[in-house]
Amino acid sequence: MPDIKHVNQWLGKSERRHDTLAPAPAIALAALLGREGTPPAAGDALPPLWHWLYFQTPPRLEALGTDGHARRGGFLPPSALPRRMWAGGRVEWLQPLRLGEAASRYSCIVAIQDKLGRSGPLQFLTLRHEISGENGLALVEEQDLVYCRAPEGAAPAVAEAMPAAPWRRALRADDVLLFCYSALTLNTHRIHYSRDYAVESEGYPGLVVQGPLLATLLLELCRRHAPAYRPRGFHFRALRPLFADSDISLGGRPETDGRVSLWAWNAAGQPAMEAGLSQAATRLSASDGVASGA
């Protein structure tokens, strides 16, 4: 098992970043997603999950590790496990963020846990972000990161029946889509754009589709079928990775209580991500003054 006593020194570590929500990244993402209509402009509400375009710090090349991530031991702890993945998260929207406004993001490491999974030791880290615009706190998010070993062999594929879904979309995420999304979000993790690294160093069969990109595509599915739906809460959980140039199936279903169920399936008939939207508040905003400690 990894040494959690060492990484626990990072528990409670925090940082604050400032940014202007410039329209240019949103215009680029709208084009990448194939959105029709007038491009985003200053004053428009930032679409759900598009805050991932902002608060990124351009990395210095000498500060990157062999995997493309910033070397561990800065804001994030130096886990002994080699792989880092985004395992899931929760978002609550309190009020709109608008393009063109100045905003700030307070981030804090709120949990670190060691677990033993079927593939070996795991280390989970939960980051909490609170984003404020010119009118105050607008968004609260928790991100679950997991550190793990590379698997020694692929588990046999067991196909499952995809749930009944009135909303469906089939797609293939190619190298260009992954590269452009990584560029827009300043994601330097090499598994998303260096096929040689993904296959030879981390043991994947190909380039890995970004979890945030897949979550964004699921929300786009909801927007296309229910453009008037305004979510207050969102949660998602990654179940297994998806890869470039393979068939991906997106599905969604409105529930009777105002929630929306969403999921992504791989070409082998296995669930890759499950997610949900709601019009009710989550419990994320009921923090005990997390932002006040910045």
Per-residue model confidence as pLDDT tens digits over 102-145: 999 999 999 988 888 777 888 899 999 999 999 999 999 999 99
Task: Report the pLDDT value the prediction gives residue 202, as an integer from 0 to 100.
Answer: 86
Task: Report the pLDDT value the prediction gives residue 72, as an integer from 0 to 100.
Answer: 62
Task: Report the pLDDT value the prediction gives residue 5, as an integer from 0 to 100.
Answer: 59
Task: Report the pLDDT value the prediction gives residue 73, as an integer from 0 to 100.
Answer: 57
The pLDDT tens digits of the residues spanning 246-279 come to: 999 999 999 989 999 999 999 999 999 999 999 9
Exposure string of 54-78, with b = 16+ CB inside 10 Å and e = fewer, is: bbeeeeeeeeeeebbbbebeeebbe
Triad 208, 209, 214: Cα angle to 5°? 155
69: left (phi over 0), alpha (psi -120 to 50) or beta: beta
Task: Report the pLDDT value the prediction gives residue 282, as an integer from 0 to 100.
Answer: 62
- Low-confidence stretches of the chain (pLDDT < 70) are 1-6, 71-74, 151-157, 281-294
Extended strands (E) in 190-280: 233-238, 247-254, 260-265, 271-278
CB 123 within 8 Å of CB 112:
yes
Predicted TM-score (pTM) of this structure: 0.89
Task: Report the pLDDT value the prediction gives residue 157, as an integer from 0 to 100.
Answer: 65
Residue 142, strand partner residues: 90, 128
DSSP state of 143: E
Q: How far apart are CA 111 and CA 172, in angstroms?
A: 35
Written as one letter, the residue type at 75 is F
Q: How far apart are CA 52 and CA 263, in angstroms?
A: 20
